[in-house]
Structure 1
């Protein structure tokens, strides 16, 4: 009788621990979902300001232009549903790293522009600082994803980010192209964060069962 009771107690402890672990995971994914949405809101605000200050046109539309070093935004729905949690998290981590890298490069370009034209800092809201805030949000999201990846696979080790090389002196044409690249990066990041929030929502919903 005592042995039977001990076995039941042991099983109950395991089940309780599993439920608590599932709840913790669900809360983490929910928090990541909220951060992805709030980050997207800040990206949208920055995109509007960027078009005004860097492109001189709030209605600028370069939707036909793409950057090859950014993640693809198109998704096959059936394939997306079949992704394992690990593959979903790993892809999210790599995608966010790609966006962080290009924002770092563009922030460097903007800082050089501010130094060359000191009056920009006096009359305009600092775009480099806005870029930095978005990067900090992305870094927080990457840390959250990395934590979930370690929970899924204990062997996962967060990679050391590669150094981002800033652009050297450019011609006026190249300078304009670089500004358009900044627009494309923010535009695609806005769309990507919608996709990322959807991933977090799906991952959280799996923990309700």
Structure 2
């Protein structure tokens, strides 16, 4: 009937309206939107950090045969620097802080992606001729892939926040471009290394990612605090 069609049309329009609201930028929805967005990013970063820490411990136990293994002298030049001057960090503009985070997350994602593929190839060779057994838990490459999904989620949040701030100075790095750049600069080195050196490389990536996520937690804590202040409150970094 006409009445039923009218009711259905109203419900359809209402559903469309609610979908539109759900896709709106938090900063457009209400003044405290960015503060809430940074709170969500902070929570996601903490959860990812916990997963990386757990995976690093397992990686050292299974790949290096020493759960207590630690060597801070080992480093990869292609990973983001973890050293930060406190005053310089405090005075960074908000868009600059987010833009740096976007770039660094892409870099770690690309390193993890290459390492995961290497481990999958190694695992395929080792499993040839062996009977399939039911896995009790995720393999390390599968766990790395889960971390990659977490990093992609964080990238999406960060790039959305950058867009919400409407900064013309921001130019987030494309995941495909970053993957190519990292692969180009490190693939030749990886091919010439021994299995042990390759495993040490995986350790460095996870170790530095854990440290980086601790730093990113501080970034989002600062951003959340800044954008929670009442309008007109003077502070640095905007």
Scaled by the length of structure 2, what TM-score is found? 0.73
Instruction: Give the match for residue 8 of structure 1.
Output: none
Counterpart contact for 1:47–1:187, Cα < 8 Å: yes
Shift of 1:152: 1.5
CA shift digits 1:144-197 (9 cap, x unpaired)? 0000111112655644322444958956x5221111010011011111101101
Provide the rounded CA distance (Å) in 2 between the counterparts of 1:105 and 1:44.
20
Counterpart contact for 1:23–1:207, Cα < 8 Å: yes
Counterpart contact for 1:96–1:142, Cα < 8 Å: yes
Q: Choose from 213, 221, 225 the match for 1:205.
A: 225
Is it true that 1:146 corresponds to 2:166 in the alignment?
A: no
Counterpart contact for 1:103–1:185, Cα < 8 Å: yes
Is it true that 1:93 corresponds to 2:129 in the alignment?
A: no
CA shift digits 1:12-45 (9 cap, x unpaired)? xxxxx98964311111100000000000000011
* Matched ranges for 1:125-140 at <5 A: 125-140=138-153
Gaps in structure 1 of 5+ consecutive residues = 1-16
Q: What's the C-alpha RMSD, in Å, of the aligned pairs?
A: 2.6
Instruction: Give the match for residue 32 of structure 2.
Output: 23
Structure 1 residue matching 2:31: 3-state secondary structure: helix
Scaled by the length of structure 1, what TM-score is found? 0.83
Structure 2 residue matching 1:22: 3-state secondary structure: coil
Provide the rounded CA distance (Å) in 1 between the counterparts of 2:72 and 2:131.
28
Counterpart contact for 1:150–1:157, Cα < 8 Å: no
Provide the rounded CA distance (Å) in 2 between the counterparts of 1:45 and 1:181.
17
